[in-house]
Structure 1
Amino acid sequence: MSSSGRDIGRAHEGEQYDDAFVPDDREVGVGPHPEPWPAGPQYDPELLAQGDRRNVTDRYRYWTREAIVADLDTRRHGFHVAVENWQHDFNIGSVVRTANAFLAGEVHIVGRRRWNRRGAMVTDRYQHVRHHESVATLAAFAAERGLPIIGIDNLPGAVPIETFELPERCVLLFGQEGPGLTEEAWGHSTAVCSIAQFGSTRSINAGAAAAIAMHAWIRAHG
């Protein structure tokens, strides 16, 4: 089995995935490492021998998953991302992948525990993901850690994210595709920000909105 297949297999061990990511036949990543192999506890001998086809940056080639997560944990940013998941939103995988790219502290799934991981492209192996039964439990988590909740939604009363000063430590909370933030989520939000739009549509894709908001935080604090 290729290292990519091994990676995917481990990602799904002990979990019920709705739609597992299946890689295509293109050669990605790097092949076996030429000898002598680099020394260090971060390296996976099997990857060194077989090659590393995972979706990771060059910095982490041939590293074990545990070593990658440990290194990321030393550098994670002060923002968290939360998504309401009452109707099994298919955008959550994309949100997790973007949160990994921008090195969010954690991703929080509020509501239904199950979510489609295809869009995450296995990045949920390296990104901390926490489940909350309700917005109230998310709010309690945030309050204990001094994290104000900033809702993101294009509804009356929201302030433009382009002019809003995002806190350095916060939770960016997103509603799901279609209905947006619930009233309860609005009630627990310190502020609600909108994203400027100029076309005919009333809203943009939830995954795209999350990416824009995370990048706004990165521009301010990253």
Structure 2
Amino acid sequence: MTEDEVEVGVGPWVGPWPTDDRYDPELLEHGDRRNVVDRYRYWTREAVVADLDLRRHDFHVAIENWQHDMNIGTVVRTANAFLARAVHIVGRRRWNRRGAMVTDRYQHVFHHETVEDLLAWARSEDLPIVGIDNLPGAVPLESVELPRRCVLLFGQEGPGLSEPARAAASLVCSIAQFGSTRSINAGVAGGIAMHAWIRQHA
């Protein structure tokens, strides 16, 4: 095989099959080419999710989706990588899953029609909303202590956080930038903010 043709994952199981019910007979027989860490090779999707649920972190991620944002898939994929408790899509129910690279199969994703619906849910869970946007008066993310239990809320690509989202946030954090553009991609901002939480609490 050339470098571009190298197969991902592992082939069929060699030797006696494990009897643990976490293992998927189909994957044992045909191999596991999924983009999962070695710990979860040959496991069923349900078993992987159940194991992740035992270790998920205390932050949620929410992103507004009023114009069918192409970055939501990237946010979901990053939330899976940093083991967010859940991702919340606010606005349109439909979103482009391509960027998620099937990680939405392992990440809890919920939908809220409006920011007010998200806020009502967050209040019921006693979770503060932390907005991420470069707005006047925002606190630099690099210098703030993020709450351990919180919802990191990101706005639509372009306009950023909507007015209702800004009003809902108990804290708004900005990400330091040094170039000519006034904003960065929502998917990138999501990764930076999630990693900031990880550095402080994980």
TM-score range normalised by the length of the shorter chain? over 0.9
Matches within 5 A, 1:6-85: 27-85=7-65
Matches within 5 A, 1:95-114: 95-114=75-94
Corresponding residue for 2:176? 196
Of residues 167, 170, 189, the one that matches 2:147 is 167
Give the letter for the 1:78 counterpart.
Answer: D
Of residues 110, 114, 127, the one that matches 1:134 is 114
- C-alpha displacement of 1:26: 5.1
Deviations 1:97-127 (A, max 9, x none): 0000000000000000000000000000000
Moved over 3 A (4+): none
Deviations 1:111-147 (A, max 9, x none): 0000000000000000000000000000011000110
Of residues 102, 120, 124, the one that matches 1:122 is 102
Identity of aligned residues (%): 76
- C-alpha displacement of 1:176: 1.4
The alpha-carbon distance between structure 1 residues 205 and 142, as it changes in their structure 2 partners (threshold 3 A), is same
User: Superposition RMSD on alpha carbons, in Å?
Assistant: 1.0
5+ residue gaps, structure 2: none
SS at the partner of 1:141? helix
Give the letter for the 1:178 counterpart.
Answer: G
Q: Distance in 1 between matches of 2:24 and 2:198?
A: 32
The alpha-carbon distance between structure 1 residues 163 and 125, as it changes in their structure 2 partners (threshold 3 A), is same
- How many residues are paired up? 199
The alpha-carbon distance between structure 1 residues 26 and 176, as it changes in their structure 2 partners (threshold 3 A), is farther
Give the letter for the 1:111 counterpart.
Answer: G
- C-alpha displacement of 1:157: 1.3
Give the letter for the 2:57 counterpart.
Answer: H
Q: Does 1:214 align with 2:194?
A: yes
Give the letter for the 1:113 counterpart.
Answer: R
Q: Does 1:154 align with 2:138?
A: no
Q: Distance in 2 between matches of 1:97 and 1:62?
A: 21
SS at the partner of 2:142? coil
- C-alpha displacement of 1:39: 2.2
Q: Distance in 2 between matches of 1:69 and 1:25?
A: 29
SS at the partner of 1:55? coil
5+ residue gaps, structure 1: 1-23
Corresponding residue for 1:10? none
